[in-house]
C-alpha cells in the first residue's frame, strides 16, 4: 500500500516544523481550549433564557430604531416582516425607500391624528353604537373603533395564534395594530392573554428568524441556536448534539441537504427491496404476487395454485404446454424487458457498493469512539512511569483528527452515489467529463481512506507498553498522519465545491464548509457585562456599515450594485466563519 503520508513523494517521512506541531496540538480540544477560542473571530454569543432572549431581541430592535428613528412597535413590525434579517431590512430601505418599505410591512403613518374630545361621542363602525371618546381608540392608520370591539378583535387573534401581526379591523386596511394598545385593552379583561401575547412576540425571534433554529435533539434540550453570516453550516449544541443548521438533520457534509434527504429515504424505505423483487421474482399472472423460483425447472407454481412459465411469465394451461405454445415467445429476446431487469440489477449493485462502504465507515466511527476511554488508561500508564516526554496531547489531537476525517469519509460515499448517478444530475455533465471527474474524486477519496486507516491503526496500538523511543516514533507518525488527513480532507472539500458542485449549470447544491477544528460547539455565555459589551460593539460596527450603505445609496441613486445583487454559486472559503450562538430556552412552546 502506497505511503500517502509521505507527501513530498520521496523516501523521507514528513515531520512538521515547530509551528506546525504547535498548531496540531491545539486541534479540536474537547473543552474549547483557549488556543481554539482565541483563534476565532470575536462574535456575539450568549445563552438566552427568557430574560436574555428578550435582551437579544431588543438589540436588533434598537439597531433599527436608532438607524430609522422608529418606535419599538414599528421596528418590531418591520423585523417580523423581514424575518429578523436586519441587513435585508436596511437593503430594502436603501433600494425602495421608507414609504414603500412601510407599506409592504403593514405600517401606516397618518400625520396629525386628532383624538376624539373626552366630552364628545364617537360612532363605532363595527357595532354601530355611539360611545364616549374616552371609550374609543385611534390607531396609527387613522381608524377609530370602540374599545369593546378592539378588545374582542385582539382576543380572537391572540387565541388564533396571530399575535405577531394583528391587523386593523377596517375593511382593506393592512396596518398592524400597536402592541402597546393591544396589551392595554386585553389586560383590562384577560390579563392571562397578555402573557400569551408577549410570549408569541418573544418566540417570533426564533420562529421567524432564519438564522435561529431550535436544537433538533430528542428529547428536546430546550435550546435554540443562532449562526452568523452563513446558514449552511454545522453546529454543536451545548447538549452535545451536532446537526446541519440548514436542514436541522444530523451533520452530513460533504453531502448537500437534498442528497442527504434522498439518501436517508433510500436507506429507510423499501425502494431497494422493490429492486430486489424486480430482479429475483416475477408476478403471478393470476394473483399478481411476486414469486421466486427455487429450482431449475422453468415451470413454476404460485401458492395460489396457478402455474406459469418463468421465461415469459405467461400462465400455462391449454394453450401453453411443453408440447405446444400458442401466443407465447419464450425464446425471443424482448429488449425492453431485458433492459429493465438489467438496469434494476445494476442500480441495486451500485447502491450496495456505496451503502456498504458508507456503513463500514459509520460502524468504524462508532467503534473508534471507544478510543477516547481506552487512550485515557494508556495515557495514565505513560504519565505514571518515568519517561522523557510528558506531553501526550498528540494522542487526543490524533483522535479528534481521526473522528473528523472518518466522518467526512463516511458521508463522501452518499455524495458520490448521487453526484455520479443519474437521479439528480442527469444531463448536467457529458459522460466523458463525468468519468474524468469521478476518477479525480475517487483518487482523493482513496488517498484519504488509506491515511485514515493508518491513523486508526497507530492510535489503537498498545503504545503504553512501548519504550520511550517507540513512543516517540508513534508520536511522529500520528502527527504526520494528522497533518496529511487534514490536508486531504480540505482538498476533497475543495474538489467538491469547485470542480463538482461549482460547475453545475441547472442545480445549486451548497455544502457546509470544512473546518480543521471540527464542528464548532456553540458557546454558553452568561448574560453578563462581557457578552453585552461584545454585542454592543458588533451592533455599532454593523450600524456604521449600514450608515455608509445608506449614504452611498442616496448619493448614487441606486439601491444595490451589481456585486450586491449577484448571486454567487461558489462561496469564498475565507468568508465562512462558522460562528454560532446558543439560546437556552426553558419555556414550553405553545
Catalytic residues: 297
Residue 179 in grid coordinates: 402592541
Residue 472 near residue 439, CB atoms below 8 Å: no
Q: How far is CA 473 from CA 15, 84, 184, in A?
A: 11, 55, 75
CA neighbor of 516 nearest in space, from 23, 14, 180, 18: 23
Residue 133 near residue 115, CB atoms below 8 Å: yes
> ∠ at Cα 349 (345, 355), nearest 5°?
140
Question: What are φ and ψ of residue 44, in 5° steps?
Answer: -80, 110
Q: What is the DSSP string of 314-359?
A: PBPSSSB-SS-BSS--TTS--HHHHHHHHHHHHHHHHHHHHHHHHH
CA neighbor of 511 nearest in space, from 216, 235, 258, 267: 258
CA 102, 103, 108, 112 torsion-angle sign: positive
The percent helix, strand, coil of the chain (3-state, each to 5) is 55, 10, 40
Longest dimension (CA), the chain: 110
Paired with 227 in beta bridges are 580
Amino acid at each position: 500500500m502506497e505511503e500517502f503520508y509521505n507527501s513530498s513523494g520521496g523516501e523521507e517521512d514528513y515531520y512538521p516544523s515547530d509551528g506546525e506541531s504547535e498548531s496540531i496540538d491545539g486541534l479540536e480540544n474537547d473543552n474549547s481550549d483557549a488556543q481554539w477560542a482565541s483563534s476565532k473571530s470575536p462574535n456575539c454569543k450568549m445563552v438566552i433564557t427568557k430574560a436574555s432572549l428578550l435582551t437579544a431581541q431588543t438589540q436588533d430592535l434598537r439597531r433599527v430604531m436608532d438607524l430609522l428613528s422608529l418606535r419599538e412597535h414599528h421596528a418590531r413590525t418591520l423585523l417580523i416582516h423581514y424575518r429578523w434579517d436586519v441587513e435585508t431590512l436596511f437593503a430594502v430601505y436603501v433600494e425602495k425607500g421608507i414609504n414603500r418599505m412601510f407599506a409592504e410591512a403593514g405600517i401606516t403613518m397618518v400625520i396629525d391624528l386628532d383624538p376624539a374630545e373626552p366630552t364628545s361621542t364617537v360612532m363605532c363602525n363595527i357595532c354601530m353604537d355611539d360611545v364616549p371618546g374616552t371609550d374609543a381608540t385611534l390607531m396609527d392608520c387613522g381608524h377609530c373603533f370602540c374599545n369593546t370591539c378592539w378588545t374582542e378583535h385582539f382576543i380572537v387573534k391572540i387565541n388564533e395564534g396571530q399575535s405577531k401581526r394583528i391587523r386593523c379591523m377596517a375593511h382593506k386596511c393592512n396596518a398592524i395594530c400597536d402592541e402597546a394598545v393591544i396589551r392595554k385593552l386585553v389586560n383590562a379583561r384577560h390579563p392571562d392573554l397578555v402573557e400569551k401575547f408577549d410570549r408569541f412576540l418573544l418566540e417570533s425571534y426564533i420562529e421567524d428568524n432564519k438564522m435561529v433554529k431550535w436544537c433538533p435533539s430528542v428529547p428536546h434540550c430546550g435550546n435554540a441556536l443562532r449562526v452568523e453570516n452563513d446558514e449552511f453550516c454545522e453546529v454543536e449544541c451545548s447538549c452535545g448534539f451536532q446537526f446541519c443548521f440548514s436542514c436541522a438533520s444530523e451533520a452530513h457534509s460533504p453531502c448537500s441537504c437534498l442528497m442527504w434527504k434522498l439518501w436517508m429515504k433510500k436507506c429507510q424505505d423499501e425502494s431497494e427491496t422493490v429492486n430486489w423483487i424486480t430482479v429475483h421474482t416475477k408476478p403471478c399472472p393470476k394473483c399478481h404476487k411476486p414469486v421466486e423460483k427455487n429450482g431449475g425447472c422453468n415451470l413454476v407454481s404460485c401458492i395460489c395454485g396457478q402455474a406459469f412459465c418463468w421465461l415469459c411469465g405467461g400462465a400455462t394451461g391449454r394453450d401453453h404446454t411443453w408440447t405446444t405454445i400458442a401466443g407465447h415467445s419464450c425464446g425471443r429476446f424482448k429488449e425492453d424487458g431485458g433492459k429493465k431487469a438489467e438496469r434494476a440489477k445494476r442500480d441495486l449493485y451500485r447502491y450496495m457498493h456505496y451503502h456498504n462502504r458508507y456503513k463500514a465507515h459509520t460502524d468504524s466511527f462508532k467503534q473508534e469512539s471507544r478510543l477516547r476511554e481506552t487512550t485515557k488508561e494508556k495515557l495514565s500508564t505513560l504519565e505514571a512511569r518515568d519517561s522523557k516526554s510528558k506531553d501526550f496531547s498528540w494522542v487526543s489531537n490524533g483522535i479528534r483528527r481521526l473522528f473528523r476525517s472518518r466522518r467526512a469519509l463516511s458521508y463522501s460515499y452518499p455524495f458520490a452515489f448521487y453526484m455520479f448517478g443519474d437521479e439528480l444530475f442527469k444531463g448536467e455533465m457529458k459522460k466523458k467529463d463525468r468519468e474524468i471527474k469521478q476518477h479525480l474524486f475517487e483518487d482523493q477519496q482513496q488517498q484519504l481512506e488509506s491515511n485514515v486507516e493508518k491513523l486508526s491503526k497507530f492510535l489503537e496500538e498498545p503504545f503504553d507498553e512501548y519504550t520511550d523511543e517507540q513512543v516517540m516514533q508513534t508520536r511522529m507518525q500520528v502527527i504526520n498522519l494528522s497533518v496529511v488527513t487534514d490536508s486531504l480532507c480540505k482538498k476533497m472539500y475543495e474538489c467538491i465545491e469547485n470542480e463538482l458542485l461549482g460547475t453545475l449549470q441547472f442545480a445549486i447544491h451548497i455544502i457546509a464548509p470544512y473546518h480543521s477544528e471540527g464542528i464548532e460547539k456553540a458557546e454558553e455565555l452568561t448574560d453578563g457585562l462581557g457578552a453585552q459589551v461584545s454585542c454592543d460593539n458588533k451592533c455599532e460596527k454593523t450600524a456604521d456599515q449600514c450608515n455608509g450603505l445608506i449614504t452611498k445609496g442616496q448619493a448614487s441613486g441606486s439601491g444595490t450594485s451589481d456585486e450586491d445583487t449577484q448571486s454567487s454559486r461558489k462561496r469564498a472559503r475565507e468568508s465562512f466563519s462558522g460562528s454560532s450562538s446558543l439560546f437556552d430556552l426553558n419555556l414550553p412552546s405553545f
